[in-house]
Structure 1
Amino acid sequence: MDFTGFLGNPGVKSALSDAFSAGRFPHALILQGEPGTGRRTLARLIAQALVCRRRGKAPCGECPACLRAKAGSHPDIRMVEGKGDSGSISVEQIQEMAADAQRMPDEADYSVYILVFGEYILDAPQNKLLKLLEEPPAGAVFLLVCRSARALLPTIRSRAQVFQLMPPSEEEAAQWLEASRDISPGEARRLASLCGGNLGLMQGELESGTAKEAMEAAAAMALALPGRGAHNLLCAAAPLLKDRALCRQALVRLGLIFRDACMLRCGGKTLLGGAPEAADKLADLPLKQLVRLPELAEEARQNLERNANTSLLVTQLCAGLREAIGRT
């Protein structure tokens, strides 16, 4: 398979290429990863490869099927996305997809369904989806895109092959940004370092200009967390109160820093949060305490999406983080 446009993740690429070349492509895949790691990009490339008419180098990007796939108009590729603020896929959407999947593909050998799950994944639609995955129609391939496979029912996970997507190296990300945008090499490297190679965050920083401020606030909170008393942590979190968009970005960053600390504590070296000093300081804490921190940051981010009061949310988060590491 050709993965032009999807950076990094050599293990994922190799496994998908082998399955595709051997003609034993799974009927269901789960593409999990943080936003900005290329989940949708990879899903679209897989779908394009499955409908491509030139199997020697799929997707070729040139045949009529590839051109329609890239334009979003191929009749055998369907996107199912959650609606509303929650981004939840409904029972009705799954029912419509299940009915559609019973038909034979119009042009290709496969009918490909890309399901993009939002922050809230309800059980009822999953139960409907489970029945479809248990007895998949011939030629149907389901690509499930989500932040974490753990949000899906265990029975769903057991019937799909799970791939964890990670950002590319900072060097590769910087080269990509420099080539795709009118930006200097130095600025591209700065953004790649700031965003841990996450292409979505890098592009968001170019568009919004808040990623640096969010990174600084998250790093300051992580550094202040183990200290005595809660005052310094609350002061570090103060910038989050003024801007919900900044708060959202900072919470994502904070979760990544906490994840990095867990990784360091377990002897790992791959860091994504862009604040190695803060992660290293937290890594001195017991692992039993550390593993709770990413969950608290994610809970706070989800509550923010539910329009929780920012001031109350940040205050509760600081208190929860202190409690998790045994501080009062």
Structure 2
Amino acid sequence: MEYHLSHAMILEGPDPEANLALAEKLAQQAVCTAGGRRPCGVCRDCVKAAGGSHPDIAVYGGKGGSRSFHVEEVRQIRDSAAVMPNEAQAKVYILDGADHMTEQAQNALLKVLEEPPSYVIFLLTCGAASSLLPTVRSRAQIFRVQKEDNPQTEESEAFLLAESMAKAVPSAREYDLVSKTGTLTKDKELFRAVLKELALIFRDACALAAGGESQVTASQAAGYLAQRLTRKKLMALLEAVLEAQAMLERNVNQTLLAAWMCAKLK
């Protein structure tokens, strides 16, 4: 297989969000069609994966409580796995909160873990691999997901928020963007940092739309926007953010500025 991922991996760690984030990144890597480093973040499959709409990536969750991941779901997964991928070279199943699977569900999963189709990848997230049956653990590689001592630095928080806001721009619902600006009205430094990240994202999206290369290599939003918006619209977004930066430095009311910016970006 060209994507060099094990057919089954258990991602264990104390932070469920970090576990899921890594699983999603690995899933994106599996479906990426770029010839170089994967995931590239800009190919059609990466863009769909980032937007949660790739037909060959399925996420099943068992976070409703202890033993809330039932055998019926695993049977659905097993039946689906027998069908070839729709678009990508791989078909990825993320079992988020796999430690909530019933024993019956885990036993039902064993068959496909033992003899999986060559194109199928299973990514199981959990707090501790020891909560899974030994027979399940023996059929998968186990990776420990470390929780950062200080994961939410201002820089990373600003980048993640800017990525989320940028991806909400093409949405038909204005609320999808407005709902992400609440913290900006109370924290000027964060607002400033987010505007800086947005400017980089929109600038990269313009470059990608023109056939160039991305400079913000960690950004998935730039490729996502380049696939959905015209160069004219992307340039207007960049100009709006640059104007918002100037307004913030002139001490314009942050609540009013956030509302103005959302209107300009839609």
TM range, smaller chain = 0.5 to 0.7
Partner SS for 2:36:
helix
Q: Which residue of 1 aligns with 2:48?
A: 68
Q: Offset at 1:45? A: 0.6
Change (3 A) 1:137 1:174: same
Q: Which residue of 1 aligns with 2:19?
A: 39
Q: Which residue of 1 aligns with 2:32?
A: 52
Q: Offset at 1:143? A: 0.1
Distance in 1 (CA, whole Å) between partners of 2:156 and 2:38 is 22
Q: Which residue of 2 aligns with 1:78?
A: 58
Q: Which residue of 2 aligns with 1:155?
A: 135
Change (3 A) 1:126 1:168: same
**How many matched pairs?**
162
Q: Which residue of 1 aligns with 2:118?
A: 138
Distance in 1 (CA, whole Å) between partners of 2:114 and 2:75 is 15
Q: Offset at 1:168? A: 2.3
Structure 1 gaps, min length 5: 1-20, 183-328
Change (3 A) 1:175 1:83: closer
Worse overlay, 128-137 or 162-171: 162-171
Report if the CA contact (8 A) 1:33-1:147 is conserved.
yes
Worse overlay, 37-46 or 106-115: 37-46
Partner SS for 1:137:
coil
Alignment of 1:150-299 (within 5 A): 150-170=130-150, 173=153, 175-177=155-157, 180=160
Change (3 A) 1:27 1:178: same
Structure 2 gaps, min length 5: 163-266
Corresponding position: 1:105 with 2:85:
yes
Runs of 4+ in 1 over 4 A off after TM superposition: 171-175, 178-182
Partner SS for 1:62:
coil
Partner SS for 1:170:
coil
Q: Offset at 1:120? A: 3.3
> Deviations for 1:14-41, whole angstroms, at most 9, x for unmatched residues?
xxxxxxx975421000000012561111
Change (3 A) 1:116 1:79: same
Change (3 A) 1:140 1:118: closer
Report if the CA contact (8 A) 1:88-1:119 is conserved.
no
Change (3 A) 1:174 1:124: same
The alignment's TM-score, normalised by the length of structure 1, stands at: 0.45
Q: Which has the higher contact order (CA 8 A, sep 6+)?
A: 2
Partner SS for 1:56:
coil
Distance in 2 (CA, whole Å) between partners of 1:69 and 1:35 is 22
Distance in 2 (CA, whole Å) between partners of 1:106 and 1:180 is 30
Percent identity, aligned pairs only, is: 40
Change (3 A) 1:107 1:57: same
Q: Which residue of 2 aligns with 1:91?
A: 71
| RMSD after superposition | 2.5
